[in-house]
Amino acid sequence: MAFSSESYRDTWAEINTENIKYNVREIRKLHAVDVAVMAVVKADGYGHGAAATALAAAEAGASYFGVALLEEALELREAGIELPILVLGRTRPQDAPVAARNGIRLTVFQEEWLKEASKYASGESLLIHMKVDTGMGRLGLREDSEIASFLDAAAQNPSVELEGMYTHFATADELETTYFEQQYARFSRVVDLVQHLGRSPRLIHCGNSAAAMRFPEHCFNMIRFGISMYGLTPAENITEHLPFTLKEAFTLHSRLTQVKEVPPGTSISYGATYTSVENEWIGTVPIGYADGWLRAHAENQGEVLVDGYRVPIVGRICMDQMMVRLPHEVPVDTEVTLIGSQREETISVTEVASRLGTITYEVPCIISKRVPRVYPPDNRPGA
């Protein structure tokens, strides 16, 4: 999201860009110096803010960026980021000139696409990465014959230049590695085939966060570092098998807008599903499901931090607000930490993901644009 200096609400996500830099430096230590780090900043930097994340990652040595959509790449260009960017999804062939003009690399895996794109070619050469489907079943060329024919077509097409080739793993974050090894072996055979045909591109990559951390020897000369750049584990059960401790960057905060003492028998929020059993202190927090703070947090006994204590969410979460039960009276404007630390207590993204029965990826992604992202002063895009 675009950085906005004007915010009139006391609910915000604070992004620790130092931790992003730390995670990038740690992954770089694990790889040879000639292995490039592509910082994956799609979906607005997994909800952390794409431009700020990209700047922090570049400072720590990332030299390439990955996004899902052409508009996400253009957003980085508008923020003044000049390093190479690869669009990981499929872009329409008629939009290829926009990419070429802005030095944005496109993922291509259809011969027909090359033909179509050359109809729109504007003279500037388009750099492409050939995607190979080795078992993810999502995007990519599958058969040797298709790959050879695609490479011929690309070589004969004056409007494109093959800069890279890659594949994506479906199970690099699982303890059981058989399927991962099959995909890796298949990709290695394709790399050999491409070499044999004399068409090897400059960049060969396959490692997402899980593969880059667990199998650094299987990563060719670039890694695509996404979730763990943000300090999040790709899957909870592999956390103890990771080579370094990740540092989470995403925290979420608000401030109490009302504090009241209620007598026993007082119902709270829609449906009157919560009723106080004694004299209780109830605080109102201005965040709700329209901010991506889902009703499921309450349904799954979610807690937040107030005054250094874990306190329960009570009653249903509304669109813009929710209530919590406080341990004692605290002033209006007291900070509420929904994700992050207060004194000795921490509620991590990982805890919140397991509360919601989901993966870490979803948690910062679904915190909506209505929640401003704030950064340390020297890491603001445009600063």
Ligand X SMILES: *Cc1c(COP(=O)(O)O)cnc(C)c1O
Distance between alpha carbon 16 and the CA centroid of its chain, in Å? 14
Among positions 1, 85, 165, 227, the unique one binding ligand X when judged by CB under 6 A: 227
Least distance from C-beta 46 to ligand X, angstroms? 7
Query: Is 294 in contact with 316 (CB distance < 8 Å)?
Result: no
Q: In the set 129, 224, 316, 373, which binds ligand X (CB under 6 A)? A: 224
Among candidate residues 22, 42, 184, 230, the one labeled active-site is 42
DSSP β-bridge partners for residue 152: none
138 annotated binding-site participant? yes
Binding mask 239-278 for ligand X (x = CB under 6 A): ----------------------------------------
Max distance between CA atoms of the chain, in angstroms, equals: 80
Shortest distance, CB of residue 183 to ligand X, whole angstroms? 13
* Per CB under 6 A, 168 contacts ligand X: yes
| Strand duo 335-342 + 303-306: pairing | antiparallel
How do beta strands 274-275 and 345-347 pair?
unpaired
Taking the C-alpha atoms of residue 213 and residue 338, their distance in angstroms, rounded to an integer, is: 29
Measuring CA to CA, how many Å separate 194 from each of 21, 87, 166? Answer: 35, 22, 12
| Interface with ligand X (CB under 6 A), residue from 19, 91, 183, 208 | 208
Please give the Cα distance from 131 to 140 (Å, whole number). Answer: 5
Q: Could you give the C-alpha distances from 101 to 74, 96, 112, 141, in angstroms and in order?
A: 11, 9, 22, 26
CB of 201 to ligand X, least distance (A): 16
Using CB under 6 A, which of 234, 302, 340, 364 touches ligand X? 234
105 near ligand X (CB under 6 A): no
Question: Which of 209, 233, 251, 350 forms a contact with ligand X (CB under 6 A)?
Answer: 209
Pairing mode, strands 373-374 and 267-268: unpaired
270 carries an active-site annotation: yes
Binning the chain into helix, strand and coil, the percentages to the nearest 5 are 35, 25, 40
Count residues contacting ligand X (CB under 6 A)? 11
SS3 165: strand
Part in contact with ligand X (CB under 6 A); list of ranges 8-16, 48-56, 191-199, 224-232: 224-232
Between residue 39 and residue 68, which ones bind ligand X under the rule CB under 6 A?
A: 40, 42
| Cα separation, 286 vs 305, whole angstroms | 14
**Site for ligand X contains 108 (CB under 6 A):** no
1 binding ligand X? (CB under 6 A): no
Please choose, out of 7-15, 91-99, 226-234, 311-319, the segment that lies near ligand X by the rule CB under 6 A: 226-234
Q: Applying CB under 6 A, does 129 fall inside the site for ligand X?
A: no
SS (H, E, C) 284-348: EECCCHHHCCCCHHHHCCCEEEECCEEEEEECCCCCCCEEEEECCCCCCCCEEEEEEEECCEEEC
Three-state secondary-structure class, residue 243: coil
Q: Is 283 in the site for ligand X (CB under 6 A)?
A: no
218 binds ligand X (CB under 6 A): no
- Asked if 28 is part of the footprint of ligand X (rule: CB under 6 A), the reply reads no
Between residues 155 and 170, which has the closer beta carbon with respect to ligand X?
170
Is the CB of 173 or the CB of 303 nearer to ligand X? 173
Is 319 one of the annotated binding-site residues? yes
Does residue 222 interact with ligand X by CB under 6 A? no
User: Is 119 designated active site?
Assistant: no
Contacts with ligand X by CB under 6 A lie at: 40, 42, 88, 168, 208-209, 224-227, 234
Residue numbering of the annotated binding site for substrate: 138, 319
Residue numbering of the annotated binding site: 138, 319
**Residues designated catalytic:** 42, 270
